Structure 1
Amino acid sequence: MGSINITDKAINKIQEVLKDQNMKYFRIRVKGGGCSGFQYVFKSENVINETKDHVFNFKDLQILIDKNSMTFINESELDYKDELIGSSFSISNPNAKNSCGCGTSFSV
């Protein structure tokens, strides 16, 4: 199935987002695009696709990652960074050979 780590800071922010949007799950997806070939997509949802999704439990939080995306982000870490230039989720991905400066796009 694979694994992913999520920092406490990211968990707290995801819980806040889900509560504000009245949603149950947080999805992490990889799609083609961005300046390096692939990019991360973060989305709040209320539905699990039981045939395609891996479900990861962190405290009271459920993270959904589809099987195709899992091949790209297995063993990655999701963090939430609050910096002067802005706040955003960030993934540290050991599978990425290159990534862009903003950290939202990568290549394998």
Structure 2
Amino acid sequence: MAVTLTEAAARHVSRYLSRRGKGVGVRLGVKTTGCSGMAYKLEYVDEVDASDLVFENHGIKVLVDPKSLAYLDGTELDFVREGLNEGFKFSNPNERDRCGCGESFRI
């Protein structure tokens, strides 16, 4: 089981943590919401919780709670620029459907 970061995502997280002056990485999880049922939640974290599963790519830690891992296994987190927009992009092989607005997904 694994969750990975691309080099672009790792660079973005590293720059952000450097500007913040603290942090150990990002926590990736899922929550029940939206028109398709689930949404990704992503936050910068300062400490590793005892229950966190830790995946490290390109020197950046990705923390995942055990309940979310079943939905996130195999996910690759990328940071992309498309025109004037930029943001994280989730490539999750477990997704079966995504809502039209792109905010939620179904497993």
The one-letter code matched in structure 2 to 1:54 is L
Whether the aligned pair in 2 keeps the contact of 1:91 and 1:103 (CA below 8 Å) is no
Give, as a single letter, the amino acid of the residue that structure 1 aligns with 2:69: M
Say whether the 8 Å CA contact 1:90–1:103 is kept in structure 2. Answer: no
Percent same amino acid among aligned pairs? Answer: 30
Match in the other structure for 2:64:
65
* Per-residue deviation, 1:4: 1.6
Alignment of 1:29-44 (within 5 A): 29-44=29-44
Q: Structure 2: which 5+ runs fail to align?
A: none
Matches within 5 A, 1:13-92: 13-22=12-21, 23-50=23-50, 52-92=51-91
The 1:15–1:101 alpha-carbon spacing in structure 2 relative to 1, beyond 3 Å, is farther
**How much has 1:85 moved relative to structure 2?**
4.7
Tell me the number of residue pairs that the alignment of Structure 1 and Structure 2 aligns: 106
Aligned pair in 2 of structure 1 residues 42, 11: CA closer, same or farther (>3 Å)?
same
What is the TM-score normalised by the length of structure 2? Answer: 0.89
CA 1:13–1:36: 2 relative to 1, 3 Å: same
Contact 2:9 2:78 in 1 (8 A): yes
Residue 13 of structure 2 contacts residue 25 of structure 2 at CA under 8 Å; is this kept in 1?
no
Q: Residues 103 and 15 of structure 1: is their aligned pair in 2 closer, same or farther, counting only changes over 3 Å?
A: farther
The whole-number CA distance in structure 1 between the counterparts of 2:66 and 2:87 is: 24
Gaps of 5+ in 1: none
User: What is the DSSP-based 3-state SS (H/G/I as helix, E as strand, rest coil) of the residue aligned with 1:12?
Assistant: helix
Alpha-carbon distance in 2 for matches of 1:107, 1:15? 30
